[in-house]
Amino acid sequence: MTTTVHDLRAWKAAGRRFAMLTAYDFLTARILDRAGIKVLLVGDSLGQAVLGYDTTLPVTMDEMLHHTRAVARGAGDAMVIGDMPFMSYQASTEEALRNAGRFLKDAGAHAVKIEGPMFDLAATMTERGIPVMGHLGLTPQSFHAMGGYRVQGRSEEAAGRLFDHAVSLEKAGVFALVLEGIPMDLGAQISKALAIPTIGIGAGPDCDAQVLVITDLLGMDERPAPKFVQPYANLGQEIEQAVRSFAQDVEDGAYPDLEHSYR
């Protein structure tokens, strides 16, 4: 059965930790679902991971919907969360509701994720039946305002503000909260205070769940990884070697051989 927002809250209450991963296509979603990943985020990180952008800012609604549809077709029992891209929800409540509805109605997502202390919007969305995941700390869509990709909440004042924002988002109705790029002690403090699960990415070991970008986990990106990333494979090199072997066999006339030819 498909994982629901009620499952995540029950896991939090039971002290059951879980993993969330990003997915951007049908085949990856199917593999992750088969591996037991219960929550798939179609992140706007596809801007860098798939589309070759320098940041998440250029990612459009059409691009997000395109990839969300593919993931939804492969997700099986996993919950699919669509990441609302930059300026798809900040301009007006009406536009935000319309775009969130497209994720659920047109693309097959089960929920959406929004960044920042958008308390009123989160409350309005949940009142309209749209499950919302929050995201605080280092929010990539706001990296210009933050002065770059910097750890957030280091000072006592900033930590207090993030804590208050987390509590307010829970009150607004979000079913889970991503905490990115914050000190581990603050991650632990917020996680202990909330009844909803926290999902850490660079927020320490005491969050209720952890998320990574799938291309980081698989070692497919040659760019330097953030401090919090633990690669579990080196598929970039493996893929390159496989392609080199194929090309060499073609050049040498070794492929295709009789075994791989029709008679």
Residues with a catalytic annotation lie at 180
**Is residue 188 within 8 Å of 179, Cβ to Cβ?**
no
Say how many CA atoms lie within 13 Å of 134 toward its Cβ: 30
For residue 185, what are the contacts with CB-CB under 8 A and spacing of at least 6?
204
Mapping DSSP to helix (H, G, I), strand (E, B) and coil, where does residue 137 land? strand
**Is residue 22 within 8 Å of 43, Cβ to Cβ?**
yes
C-alpha dist (Å) from residue 57 to 35, 38, 139, 254: 31, 27, 11, 46
Mapping DSSP to helix (H, G, I), strand (E, B) and coil, where does residue 179 land? strand
Helix (H) or strand (E) holding 31: helix 26-34
Angle at 222 between CA 221 and CA 226, to 5 degrees: 75
**Is residue 172 within 8 Å of 126, Cβ to Cβ?**
yes
- Kindly report the number of other CB atoms within 10 A of residue 234's CB atom: 11
